[in-house]
């Protein structure tokens, strides 16, 4: 499909929820940075698993168990291709980005980073890329440093370079900010880290449904994402890690599945990736995730990026014409996320009033309180766009917002 033949209405038809009326108005879903809606093929595949081949995976030899295992492992193959990992062993299923970051903090950082060493994050991180580092740093007496973010929402690369010392051992940085939409120059940052022997982790939660991810090209050591922000189910995510690093890391959780042999004298662990997948996983939703990736692949990430860029520019021009609106962050390289405040209307009231018109937006600190502090704000309203949104929806939103302001 080329961008010329791209028809958002054909895409919209695949999402049953988009036909819903909210408060007697057609739903306009602009809360995609919190979670995206799910196409029918994802919903049906989960239904099919439970109604046709529900069974636990890996251990069973009966037909249902084999089918469930096959489908579950099929998703791992698709993810591996999607992010271009060297091997499927480098793809570990988790509950989502948050669990992925905690896995890396508990297994890698706890064991390979010493007292007095330094970890760098940035001021625009989501709480899930702040708090696990604070916890592990406190426990192990590691120093946590934060990269400055400019007023326009861009990362301060000079400050990043200044923060690096011979004690810096780890960088954990967001690819695309869920609050500002900023796309960070992560390839450049990873290159700088490689020259300084710093291990890198990329929080790809807000990036993976909007731009192509190639972990080999990026040369990052870890990459984490969540399926629910990619048209997939909640409760599924992945950690990508370079095989040689994952091999050295101890398991994150103990239990079934992650073992080779259990003995009261000595237990040995399973091979990659199963060493990190203790217990019965979220089988049905992992299977559903495969369909979400097919949905994205069928449109093509290049087409998605092009269409979303057009939509972002359209929204940006329309919002700039609204008197009394203040957009937070206007990075040169950003996706369709607009955090804003409106003079004299609290963002919370804005959210409720727009909901009465059928428009779903997010209000609050977006799990980025330090960033809000930086901008002297308690919170903002946020519009975040996805592949099924249209210019008509933006027009409708602008019309309703103008009416509220007036």
Q: Does 37 participate in binding ligand PMP (rule CB under 6 A)?
A: no
Q: How far is the CB of 223 from ligand PMP (least distance, A)?
A: 12
Q: How far is the CB of 97 from ligand PMP (least distance, A)?
A: 4
Q: How far is the CB of 384 from ligand PMP (least distance, A)?
A: 9
Site string for ligand PMP, 104-133 (x = CB under 6 A): ----------------------x-xx----
Strands 268-269 and 325-328: unpaired
Contact 179, 124 (CB under 8 A): yes
**DSSP E strand stretches across 69-134:** 91-94, 118-122
Q: Does 208 participate in binding ligand PMP (rule CB under 6 A)?
A: no
CA dist 233 → 44, 77, 100, 224, 388 (Å): 12, 18, 16, 16, 17
Q: For residues 290-349, which are near ligand PMP according to CB under 6 A?
A: none
Nearer to ligand PMP, 55 or 360 (CB): 360
Q: Does 32 participate in binding ligand PMP (rule CB under 6 A)?
A: no
Q: Exactly one of 75, 107, 226, 303 binds ligand PMP (CB under 6 A); which one?
A: 226
Nearer to ligand PMP, 167 or 365 (CB): 365
- Please tell me whether residue 134 adopts helix, strand or coil conformation: helix
CA dist 325 → 31, 279, 405 (Å): 19, 49, 9
Q: Exactly one of 205, 209, 238, 304 binds ligand PMP (CB under 6 A); which one?
A: 205
Q: Does 94 participate in binding ligand PMP (rule CB under 6 A)?
A: no
Contact 237, 79 (CB under 8 A): no
Contact 240, 217 (CB under 8 A): no
Q: Does 97 participate in binding ligand PMP (rule CB under 6 A)?
A: yes
Q: How far is the CB of 338 from ligand PMP (least distance, A)?
A: 15
Window of 58-66, 67-75, 199-207, 376-384 that interacts with ligand PMP by CB under 6 A? 199-207
- Please tell me whether residue 358 adopts helix, strand or coil conformation: coil
Tokens of 383: 């519009």
Q: How far is the CB of 82 from ligand PMP (least distance, A)?
A: 17
- 101-125: burial string, b at 16+ Cβ within 10 Å, e else: bbbbbbbbbbeebeeebbbbbbbbb
Q: Does 96 participate in binding ligand PMP (rule CB under 6 A)?
A: yes
Q: How far is the CB of 228 from ligand PMP (least distance, A)?
A: 6
Contact 303, 2 (CB under 8 A): yes
Q: Exactly one of 45, 98, 200, 339 binds ligand PMP (CB under 6 A); which one?
A: 98
- Please tell me whether residue 138 adopts helix, strand or coil conformation: helix
Q: Does 235 participate in binding ligand PMP (rule CB under 6 A)?
A: no
Q: Assess whether the previous peptide bond of 151 is cis (omega < 30° from 0).
A: no
Strands 259-261 and 268-269: antiparallel
Q: How far is the CB of 45 from ligand PMP (least distance, A)?
A: 20
Q: For residues 128-147, which are near ligand PMP according to CB under 6 A?
A: 128-129
Nearer to ligand PMP, 78 or 129 (CB): 129
Q: Does 363 participate in binding ligand PMP (rule CB under 6 A)?
A: no
Nearer to ligand PMP, 35 or 390 (CB): 35
Vertex 37 angle, CA 36 and 41, to 5° = 125
Q: How many residues bind ligand PMP (CB under 6 A)?
A: 14
367 is known as an active-site residue: yes
33: nearest Cα among 390, 393, 406, 389: 389
Q: Does 380 participate in binding ligand PMP (rule CB under 6 A)?
A: no
194: enclosing H helix or E strand:
helix 186-195
Q: How many CB atoms neighbour CB 267 within 10 A?
A: 13
Q: Which residues are catalytic, by number?
A: 367
Residues that bind ligand PMP (CB under 6 A): 33, 96-98, 126, 128-129, 174, 178, 203, 205-206, 226, 228
């Amino acid at each position: 499909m080329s961008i010329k033949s791209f028809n958002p209405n054909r895409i919209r038809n695949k999402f049953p929820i988009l036909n819903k009326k909210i408060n007697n108005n057609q739903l306009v879903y602009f809360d995609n940075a919190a979670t995206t809606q799910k196409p029918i093929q994802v919903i049906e595949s989960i239904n099919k698993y439970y109604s046709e081949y529900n069974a636990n995976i890996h251990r069973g030899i009966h037909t249902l168990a084999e089918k469930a295992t096959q489908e579950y492992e099929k998703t791992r193959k698709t993810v591996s291709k999607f992010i271009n990992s060297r091997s499927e062993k480098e793809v570990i299923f988790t509950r989502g980005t948050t669990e992925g970051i905690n896995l890396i903090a508990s297994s890698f950082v706890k064991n390979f980073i010493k007292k007095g060493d330094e970890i760098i994050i940035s001021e625009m991180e989501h709480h899930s890329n702040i708090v696990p580092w604070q916890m592990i740093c406190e426990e192990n007496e590691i120093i946590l440093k934060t990269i400055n973010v400019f007023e326009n929402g861009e990362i301060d690369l000079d400050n990043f370079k200044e923060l690096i010392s011979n004690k810096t051992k780890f960088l954990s940085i967001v690819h695309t900010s869920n609050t500002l939409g900023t796309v960070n120059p992560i390839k450049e940052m990873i290159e700088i880290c490689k020259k300084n022997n710093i291990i890198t982790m990329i929080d790809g939660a807000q990036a993976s449904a909007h731009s192509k991810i190639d972990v080999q090209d990026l040369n990052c050591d870890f990459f984490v994402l969540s399926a629910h922000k990619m048209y997939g189910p909640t409760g599924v995510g992945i950690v990508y890690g370079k095989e040689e690093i994952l091999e050295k890391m101890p398991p994150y959780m103990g239990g079934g599945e992650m073992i080779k042999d259990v003995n009261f004298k000595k237990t040995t662990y399973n091979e990659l990736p199963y060493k990190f997948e203790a217990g019965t996983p979220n089988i049905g939703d992992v299977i559903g995730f495969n369909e979400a990736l097919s949905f994205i692949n069928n449109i093509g990430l290049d087409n998605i990026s092009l269409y979303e860029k057009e939509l972002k520019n359209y929204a940006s021009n329309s919002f700039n014409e609204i008197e009394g609106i203040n957009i937070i962050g206007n990075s040169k390289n950003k996706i369709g996320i607009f955090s804003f405040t409106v003079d004299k209307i609290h963002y919370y009231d804005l959210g409720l009033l727009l909901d009465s018109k059928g428009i779903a937006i997010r209000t609050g600190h977006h799990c980025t309180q330090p960033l809000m502090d930086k901008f002297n704000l308690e919170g903002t309203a946020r519009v975040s766009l996805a592949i099924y949104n249209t210019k008509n929806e933006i027009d409708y939103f602008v019309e309703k917002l103008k009416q509220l302001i007036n």
